[in-house]
């Protein structure tokens, strides 16, 4: 059975005969939820993605149509029996749900209804059968759904607004909020993630903290050929390869707790050697498990022992760390599994805003937290399920956990400042003039400790 098509047929019938009807006490819901959740028209969709991620879905498929938006995913945490009585479920206390996924769903559904759509449909079905609900105002049509073959619980939500509209705002929200999500987001079959968060044309520092933790609790990265660097430091010290990169210093690290800040379980340090190759060596001399991180022309200049030409850089041994669950097409290299990360620290050459910490929880990047960590305009993306939020589930609370994160990041960026200064001493090799180096030093106050 095509559950989305089945739901659409129900909404087109126009029948108001129901096996039950209910209305949500919106005043009560508004007391429990922050106003922010209802004021942002895309919040319902972001919360539904969080529900999918928290319930074990690998992918969320969206079908934007002129008159409605359909969202579909297969959950391995939900069961159809949970939704046998939607009325009772919607009146559960939002802050006391035993299941984070159910809590996200409740907020998503309340936010959907607060938008006062023409119709709102929700259906779930698994091997035991299922239920569908079509809501028009306060009237509800409830139907039983026959069982489906296979594992997991198929879930579909269809929202038809009171007036036809485009869905560009929702697409942009998903692209930003789910850029590093472990859950694949498909918009009209086109995958929106993972993607490189925009940070300006050039970066001083791109530092990845790799992990051996569970993939669903980490940042899922795009292929690293999408962020080529001038200087690579993969745990063995600086490696100058003079590529045509947009990042001065690209580093790979892993988490090491300090005496004051113990955030996650300690990780062994990465130790990767770069394999350099041309097309001929790639065919005959590079291990199949080696992961490409850059390919393109070698930067001109004084390159001792090498000729200008085409450059392919690989890393051997990446499989020792957590890789993404789903392979992604990496251009001429075919489908590969990108690495995952606990932290991604990015610092632009020209700051365009305040320094921010952006925490990912249940597959969604939360509202940013302003930071003061010694690098201007930097953004730190962190996968951390221990950061608390307000009742919307999208705004982090600046509590002790966030303070610990900030303290650890301050010590890490102090080291980063030193390494940037060291690289800039050879700025002419990487295309930075003396005046550019002076400007960068001044903007980021690199001459101060």
- Per the domain annotation, does 58 fall within a domain? yes
Residues 272 and 406 in one domain: yes
Q: How far apart are the first and last CA of the chain?
A: 64
pTM: 0.89
- Per the domain annotation, does 132 fall within a domain? yes
Residues 438 and 313 in one domain: yes
- Per the domain annotation, does 10 fall within a domain? yes
What pLDDT is recorded for position 114? 82
Under 8 Å CB-to-CB from 63, ≥6 apart: which residues? Answer: 4, 69, 70, 72, 188
- Per the domain annotation, does 449 fall within a domain? no
Last residue of a domain, one of 136, 157, 191: 191
- Per the domain annotation, does 395 fall within a domain? yes
* Alpha-carbon distances of 41 from 112, 117, 193, rounded to whole Å: 9, 12, 21
Q: Which domain holds residue 380?
A: 203-443
Residues 156 and 249 in one domain: no
| 9-49: pLDDT as tens digits | 666 654 444 444 444 454 455 545 555 666 788 999 999 99
Residues 220 and 178 in one domain: no
- Residue 48 CA, chain-centre distance (Å), reads 14
- Per the domain annotation, does 85 fall within a domain? yes
Residues in the chain predicted with pLDDT less than 70, given as ranges, are 1, 3-38, 95-97, 242, 278-280, 282-283, 298-309, 449
Residues 43 and 15 in one domain: yes
Residues 50 and 121 in one domain: yes
CATH code, domain with 133: 3.30.565.10
Residues 301 and 419 in one domain: yes
- Per the domain annotation, does 91 fall within a domain? yes
Residues 107 and 238 in one domain: no
Residues 56 and 141 in one domain: yes
What pLDDT is recorded for position 5? 66
**What's the total number of domains in the chain?**
2
What pLDDT is recorded for position 22? 43
Last residue of a domain, one of 158, 191, 224: 191
Last residue of a domain, one of 157, 191, 225: 191
What pLDDT is recorded for position 37? 67
Residues 148 and 267 in one domain: no
Residues 285 and 138 in one domain: no
Residues 210 and 124 in one domain: no
What whole-number distance in Å separates Cα of residue 346 and Cα of residue 196?
11
What pLDDT is recorded for position 17? 40
Q: Retrieve residue 334's tokens.
A: 């075919």
């Amino acid at each position: 059975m095509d559950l989305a098509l089945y739901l659409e047929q129900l909404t087109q019938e126009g029948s108001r005969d129901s096996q039950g009807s209910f209305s949500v006490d919106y005043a009560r819901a508004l007391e429990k939820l922050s106003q922010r959740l209802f004021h942002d028209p895309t919040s319902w969709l972001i919360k539904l993605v969080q529900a999918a991620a928290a319930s074990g879905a690998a992918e969320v498929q969206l079908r934007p149509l002129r008159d409605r938006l359909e969202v579909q995913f297969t959950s391995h945490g939900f069961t159809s029996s949970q939704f046998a009585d939607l009325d009772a479920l919607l009146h559960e206390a939002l802050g006391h749900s035993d299941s984070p996924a159910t809590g996200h769903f409740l907020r998503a559904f309340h936010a959907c209804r607060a938008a006062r759509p023409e119709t709102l449909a929700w259906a779930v079905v698994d091997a035991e059968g299922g239920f569908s609900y079509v809501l028009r105002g306060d009237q509800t049509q409830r139907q039983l759904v026959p069982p489906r073959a296979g594992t997991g619980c198929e879930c579909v939500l269809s929202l038809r607004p009171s007036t036809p509209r485009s869905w560009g705002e929702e697409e942009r929200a998903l692209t930003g909020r789910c850029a590093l999500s472990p859950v694949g987001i498909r918009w009209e079959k086109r995958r929106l993630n993972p993607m490189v968060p925009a940070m300006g044309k050039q970066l001083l520092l791109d530092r990845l903290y790799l992990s051996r933790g569970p993939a669903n609790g980490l940042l899922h990265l795009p292929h690293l050929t999408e962020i080529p660097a001038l200087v690579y430091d993969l745990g063995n010290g600086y490696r100058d390869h003079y590529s045509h990169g947009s990042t001065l210093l690209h580093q790979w690290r892993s988490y090491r707790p300090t005496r004051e800040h113990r955030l996650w379980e300690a990780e062994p340090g990465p130790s990767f050697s770069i394999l350099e190759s041309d097309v001929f060596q790639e065919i005959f001399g590079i291990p199949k498990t080696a992961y490409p991180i850059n390919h393109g022309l070698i930067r001109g200049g004084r390159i001792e022992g090498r000729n200008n030409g085409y450059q392919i850089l690989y890393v051997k041994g990446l499989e020792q760390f957590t890789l993404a669950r789903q392979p992604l097409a990496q251009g001429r290299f075919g489908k590969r599994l990108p690495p995952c990360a606990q932290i991604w620290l990015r610092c632009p050459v020209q700051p365009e805003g305040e320094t921010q910490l952006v925490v990912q929880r249940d597959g969604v990047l939360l509202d940013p937290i302003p930071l003061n960590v010694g690098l201007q305009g930097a953004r730190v993306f962190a996968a951390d399920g221990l950061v608390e939020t307000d009742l919307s589930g999208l705004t982090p609370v600046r509590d002790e956990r966030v303070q610990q994160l900030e303290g650890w990041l301050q010590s890490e960026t102090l080291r980063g400042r030193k390494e940037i200064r060291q690289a800039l001493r050879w700025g002419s090799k990487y295309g930075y003039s003396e005046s550019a180096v002076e400007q960068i030093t001044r903007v980021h106050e690199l001459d101060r400790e």
